[in-house]
Amino acid sequence: MNAPAVLAPSVAAELAAIVGPAHLLTDEADLISYGYDGTWYESRPICVVLPGTTEEVRAIHRVAARERLAITPRAMGSGLSGGAVPLAGSIVLGVMRLGRILEIDEVNAVAVVQAGVITADLQKAVEARGFFYPPDPSSLKQSAIGGNVSENAGGARCLKYGVTADYVAALEVVLPGGELIRTGGKMVKNVTGYDLRALFTGAEGTLGTITEITLRLLRKPGFSKTATAAFASIEAAAATVVAVLNAGLLPTSIELMDRLTMQCIEEHRPSGLPVDAEALLLFAVDGNYEEIVDAELARVAEIARASGAFATRVAASAAESARLWEARRGISPALARKSPNKLGEDISVPRSELVATVRAIRAIAARNDLFIPIFGHAGDGNLHPNILCDRRDAVQMARVRIAAREIFEAAVAAGGTLSGEHGIGVLKKQFMELDLGTEAVALMRRIKDAVDPLGIMNPGKIFPDPGGPGAFVL
Ligand SMILES: Cc1cc2nc3c(=O)[nH]c(=O)nc-3n(C[C@H](O)[C@H](O)[C@H](O)COP(=O)(O)OP(=O)(O)OC[C@H]3O[C@@H](n4cnc5c(N)ncnc54)[C@H](O)[C@@H]3O)c2cc1C
């Protein structure tokens, strides 16, 4: 696509007529603000449009298709792979005004929401009615359901409850040319035709704009309690994960923090974490009967001690439990204070490869003289090695690039993948073929071409640039 540098006045007038002049942003300050996400990438759109209805989204798409203008859908811009950062010349289509919870259907146990509803707000609203929406990205107060669905977001509760895709019952999607499709419904079973819900979930805005989502709900468990186990080695921590699961227990979460991560948290906001330990596992167990939750948590602690934990502790109160989970959610901000920049990775490996992968990352850190704290969802094998760095230091950044590649190679060699929950965006697109192979990526390109023949939906994302990194480089 030949992207224009500026918005033609006639197109600006047409977009302003669709969304109302107040919801078409063209000021320099706005263009800069909407050119970021949670990564360090930045780029400027030609304008930002903030539609208030699905019909407005359709009209914007029709104009964009006619004018061959690219659209980058954007929810809350908290993404960690550069997906919401517009390629130069794109329109940013922000869904934050589509912010209504349309229905909480208690009989069918579903919520129907617009794409801009904040994840934590939905959780609060359904919990007030005794229901439970389990997907819990740490960013739940900053991210929206449209972004969660488009990245297929995960979180600490995935071990027991699965990822966002497991809760998507139906989607309303505006296709690149402005056509509207609805896929799925409130029914429990549905195998009619290709599973288009699955296609658009995790598509990172490359196939269309999601406007409305029907989400499955569960009943809220009555009790949730927390325990920690401290280990002198990562091996003992990993052995505990397997032993707990093989004992027939299914904790809500098993989270891992290594010593470097705990040190960063304690420097930022002291939380009483055992910084003398090499690794800490944080467990949550939930259920409807307090005696069973207590018994299961006690058994988890017993197994951890038998597998080598030198200290275990069951949180004595809801306040202590909340403090531990606050510390867990505070890892990203704590790491962000430690160095001017950080490159957060999101590899996912089979549980059997957890130890070897942590060892490989430590060797990569030592070899490249980099500080790489490791934390993540140990129960899922989803690790977040964060490379702390300073982008102004060109020599260090050359080592960061090498380390990032080596981490991806280690994950793939272990039978794992580039991303467990943050998506590909621009950050990992050059490694897609390393992970999936050329044929699978070629098939994905054919699907993209079929849905978006003009190539106007979030261009520059997911697919590797031929001949090396194009518009975005690390
Ligand atoms: C501190 C912090 C902690 C985080 N923790 C987690 C975590 O635990 N688990 C996790 O999974 N992620 C986590 N993230 C990453 C991020 O919050 C998630 O990827 C989240 O799902 C993005 O939501 P968003 O609303 O900010 O989407 P955005 O960043 O705005 O968009 C993300 C992608 O979705 C596309 N998109 C957005 N809305 C639509 C739409 N309506 N239709 C089509 N495409 C759309 C965009 O084009 C982009 O490609 C974290 C981020 C931060 C900053």
Contact, 34 vs 92, CB < 8 A? yes
User: Would you state the pLDDT for residue 472?
Assistant: 58
Q: How many whole angstroms from 146 Cα to the centroid of ligand 1?
A: 8
Q: What is the DSSP letter of 417?
A: B
User: Would you state the pLDDT for residue 88?
Assistant: 84
State if residue 210 touches ligand 1 by the CB under 6 angstroms criterion.
yes
Q: Scanning the structure block, which residue is given the tokens 């033609």?
A: 8
Contacts of 440 (CB under 8 A, 6+ apart): none
φ, ψ of residue 411 to 5 degrees: the values are -65, -45
Nearest to residue 108, comparing CAs of 215, 222, 220?
215
CA–CA distance, 156 with 134 (Å, rounded to integer): 9
Contacts of 318 (CB under 8 A, 6+ apart): none
State if residue 164 touches ligand 1 by the CB under 6 angstroms criterion.
no
State if residue 76 touches ligand 1 by the CB under 6 angstroms criterion.
yes
Candidate from 139, 421, 424 with most ligand 1 atoms within 8 A of CB, to mutate: 139
CA-proximal residue: ligand 1, atom 52 (nearest): 139
Which residues, in sequence order, are bridge partners of residue 280?
230, 257
CA–CA distance, 56 with 53 (Å, rounded to integer): 5
CA–CA distance, 168 with 163 (Å, rounded to integer): 10
CA–CA distance, 84 with 36 (Å, rounded to integer): 7
Give tens-digit pLDDT for 335-394.
Answer: 999 999 999 999 999 999 999 999 999 999 999 999 999 999 999 999 999 999 999 999
State if residue 83 touches ligand 1 by the CB under 6 angstroms criterion.
yes
CA-proximal residue: ligand 1, atom 14 (nearest): 139
Compute the Cα dihedral for 132, 271, 254, 139 and give only its sign: positive
Q: How many whole angstroms from 120 Cα to the centroid of ligand 1?
A: 13
User: Would you state the pLDDT for residue 3?
Assistant: 59
Give tens-digit pLDDT for 242-298.
Answer: 999 999 999 999 999 999 999 999 999 999 999 999 999 999 999 999 999 999 999
Compute the Cα dihedral for 295, 300, 301, 306 and give only its sign: positive
CA–CA distance, 59 with 439 (Å, rounded to integer): 36
Q: Scanning the structure block, which residue is given the tokens 């003398």?
A: 276
Candidate from 150, 326, 380 with most ligand 1 atoms within 8 A of CB, to mutate: 150
- pTM beyond cutoff 0.85: yes
CA–CA distance, 346 with 318 (Å, rounded to integer): 30
Contact, 281 vs 231, CB < 8 A? yes
CA–CA distance, 116 with 428 (Å, rounded to integer): 26
CA-proximal residue: ligand 1, atom 18 (nearest): 79
Q: Give the position, in ligand 1's atom list, of the atom nearest the Cα of 153.
A: 11
Q: How many whole angstroms from 147 Cα to the centroid of ligand 1?
A: 4
> Which amino acid, residue 79?
G
Which positions of the chain have pLDDT values less than 70? 1-4, 468-474
Q: How many whole angstroms from 439 Cα to the centroid of ligand 1?
A: 28
Tokens of 308: 């080598």
CA-proximal residue: ligand 1, atom 6 (nearest): 137
The dihedral formed by the CA atoms of 440, 442, 445 and 451, expressed in degrees to the nearest 10 = -80
User: Would you state the pLDDT for residue 2?
Assistant: 53
User: Would you state the pLDDT for residue 195?
Assistant: 96
State if residue 150 touches ligand 1 by the CB under 6 angstroms criterion.
yes
Specify the length of the chain in residues.
474
State if residue 452 touches ligand 1 by the CB under 6 angstroms criterion.
no
User: Would you state the pLDDT for residue 6?
Assistant: 83
Q: How many whole angstroms from 204 Cα to the centroid of ligand 1?
A: 9
Q: How many whole angstroms from 421 Cα to the centroid of ligand 1?
A: 9
State if residue 92 touches ligand 1 by the CB under 6 angstroms criterion.
no
Contact, 149 vs 210, CB < 8 A? yes
Q: How many whole angstroms from 434 Cα to the centroid of ligand 1?
A: 24
